[in-house]
Amino acid sequence: MAIIEIENMEFYAYHGCYKEEQVVGNHFQVSILIEVETQAAQLTDNLNDTVNYQVVYNLIKEEMQLKSKLLEHVAERIVSAIHNKFKNVERVWVKVSKLNPPLGGKVEKVSVSLERKF
């Protein structure tokens, strides 16, 4: 088994419970960890034998473009999209962070992490 990680991808998106957040938008970070068997790729050096990082990034980018009220919902959609595209994935962990959230004071970020084993 191998762990593939893509860390701190940055997106501008329109997630939030408040109407203003869905209009003005905010900066977000997403990190993902994917556990998958890579023995074939280790031997063949063939991209088709592993999880393509570019495809993962594009799936996350698509999900980040869809408005949601809750980070939990965004995280669930990302995990489901990865699992639907890569059936050989055994575990996915994702962290979605909203930078400078409007909480009435100085807060660097709020985050939701979600993990699923298949």
**Euclidean distance between CA atoms 95 and 14, whole angstroms:** 17
**Euclidean distance between CA atoms 69 and 17, whole angstroms:** 5
What backbone phi and psi angles, to 5 degrees, belong to 102? Answer: -80, 80
Q: Which of 55, 72, 65, 84 minimizes the C-alpha distance to 114?
A: 72
Q: Is 87 a catalytic residue?
A: no
Catalytic residue, candidates 67, 69, 87, 98: 98
**Euclidean distance between CA atoms 90 and 63, whole angstroms:** 21
What backbone phi and psi angles, to 5 degrees, belong to 27? Answer: -90, 140
Active site residue ranges: 98
